Chains A and B, each alone.
Chain A
Amino acid sequence: MRCAGIDIGSRTTKLAVLEDGRLVLARKAVTSPDPLETVRRIMDGAVFEVITATGYGRHLARAHLDCQVVSEITAFALGACYFSHDCSSILDIGGQDTKAISLDPSGHLCKFEMNDRCAAGTGRFLEVMATALGFTLEEFAVAALSAHQTVKITSMCTVFAESEVVSLLSQGADRNEVALGIHKAIVSRSAGLLKRVAPEGKIFFAGGVALNGCVRVLLEEETGRHVFVPPDPQVVGAVGAAMSGSGGQ
Chain B
Amino acid sequence: MSDYTEMWSSLGLDLKSHDVLLAALGKGYSDVFLSQKGRPEGMKYFDFVMSEVHGLRIKELMDAKAEGRKVIGSYCVFVPEELILAVDGVSVGLCAGAEFNFEGAETLLPRNTCSLIKSAFGFKLGKVCPYVEACDVVVGENTCDGKKKAYEILGPLLRDLYVMDLPQMKTGKGKELLKEEYRKFIGKLEEATGKKVTPEGLKKAVGIVNAKRKAVKRLAAIRAADPAPISGLDALLVNQVFFYDDPVRFTGAVNQLCDELELRAKKKNGVVPKGTTRVVVSGCPMAVPNWKVPLLIETSGAVIVGEESCVGERGNRWLTEVKGDTVEEMLDAITDRYFNIDCAVFTPNPSRVGYVKEMAKKLHAQGVVHYSLQFCQPYIMESGPVEKELEQSGIPTLRLETDYGQEDAGQLRTRIEAFIERLKKR
Contact = CB atoms under 8 A, between A and B. Distances in A.
Interface of A: 56, 69-74, 97, 108-112, 114, 116-117
Interface stretch (B204-212, B331-339, B341-349, B405-413): B405-413
Given A73-B414, A74-B417, A97-B411, 6 more contacts: A56-B414, A69-B417, A70-B417, A74-B418, A74-B421, A109-B425
Interface string B384-426: 0000000100000000010000011011001101100110010
B418 A71 contact: yes
B422 A109 contact: yes
Contact of B415 (A108, A110, A112): A112
Contacts of A70: 417, 421
Nearest to A107: B425
A114 B411 contact: yes
B248 to A, nearest CB: 44
Given A108-B422, A110-B422, A71 B417 contact: yes
Nearest to A108: B425
A62 to B, nearest CB: 12
A73 B407 contact: no
A35 to B, nearest CB: 13
Interface string B69-88: 00000000000000000000
B425 A112 contact: no
A108 to B, nearest CB: 5
Best-surrounded residue of B401, B407, B410 (most CB of chain A within 10 A): B410
Contact of A114 (B415, B421, B422, B425): B415
Contacts of A74: 417-418, 421-422
Contact of A72 (B391, B407, B414, B425): B414
Nearest to A96: B411
Instruction: Report which residue of B401, B418, B422 has the largest number of chain A beta carbons within 10 angstroms of its beta carbon.
Output: B418
A107 B391 CA distance: 17
Contacts of A109: 418, 421-422, 425
A97 B414 CA distance: 11
> Which of B408, B410, B411, B421 has the most chain A CB atoms closer than 10 A to its own CB?
B421
Nearest to A73: B418
Nearest to A110: B422
Contacts of A117: 407-408, 411
28 contacts: A56-B410, A69-B417, A70-B417, A71-B415, A71-B417, A71-B418, A71-B421, A72-B414, A72-B418, A73-B414, A73-B417, A73-B418, A73-B421, A74-B417, A74-B421, A74-B422, A108-B422, A109-B421, A109-B425, A110-B422, A111-B391, A112-B415, A114-B411, A114-B414, A116-B401, A116-B408, A117-B407, A117-B408
Contacts of B421: 70-71, 73-74, 109
A174 to B, nearest CB: 35
Interface in B366-396: 391
A204 B418 CA distance: 19
Contacts of B422: 74, 108-110
A56 B417 CA distance: 12
Contacts of B418: 71-74, 109, 112
Nearest to B401: A116
A109 B422 CA distance: 6
Nearest to A69: B417
Nearest to A76: B418
Interface in B126-182: none
Interface centre among A69, A71, A72, A114 (most CB of B within 10 A): A71
A71 B414 contact: yes
